Amino acid sequence: MGNSPAFQRALLKVSGEALMGRSQFGIHPDMLSYVADELVGAAALGCQLGVVLGGGNIFRGVSQSAQGMDRVQADHMGMLATVMNSLALQDALEKRGLPTRVMSALTMPQVAEPFIRRRALRHLDKGRLVIFAAGTGNPYFSTDTAAALRAQEVGSQVLLKATKVDGIYDSDPVTNPQALKLDHLTYDEVLTRHLKFMDATAISLAGENRLPVIVFDLLKPGNILRALRGEAVGSRVEG
């Protein structure tokens, strides 16, 4: 606690929708700046940080706009959307003096490094923030699953899931004012209760490897920092 990190290395998952801010789609400059400022503050704590961004603010393979489209084709479009978000965040972070690398699961050397595990570890060891783009590089897998996978590959000690609500609820708190917040859960409880804050594949992968998952409100300033310090924020899923 205090000014030292509780985790040496962490991976943060941020949805693409979070970057929309007040807009209906795309990247809102104010929200991009906010996320960048939060990450710069968190990096100053000394924890090695990886980030996975969603692409739902631009395109999602299972969205309304993808109906009638081949699922594999649509999912690849969604992966490209995560690359666009990653490049935008990289630009914002580097303008604030934080060295950042984008590593893509899809090969596109003109704009991003290919994901190579040993190279990613080297970047993290050197204090660079690494953004893992293009999901897993495979259709039918969400960016939640990509976050759980990359967290395992680079040896993260925690998976942080930044959302628009302050934790995990037994139902949607937006539509149900009586929804009950659940502060602590096991992986099995999440799966058996069909809680939808993260897809089942991601939770299963985290559970198999005993990777703690902390779900918290991105829009409350300082929450990323508090989570990295080990303070009680949001909801926690562990064995």
Domain layout of the chain by residue ranges: 9-237
Give per-residue pLDDT as tens, 85-143.
Answer: 999 999 999 999 999 999 999 999 999 999 999 999 999 999 999 999 999 999 999 99
pLDDT at 1 over 60: no
Nearest Cα to 159, choosing from 50, 82, 53? Answer: 50
Least confident of 38-52, 59-73, 176-190, 199-213: 59-73
Q: CB–CB of 50/10 below 8 Å?
A: yes
Q: CB–CB of 129/43 below 8 Å?
A: yes
C-alpha angle with apex 186: 181 to 190, nearest 5 degrees? 65
Q: CB–CB of 45/105 below 8 Å?
A: no
User: pTM above 0.85?
Assistant: yes
CATH (residue range 9-237): 3.40.1160.10
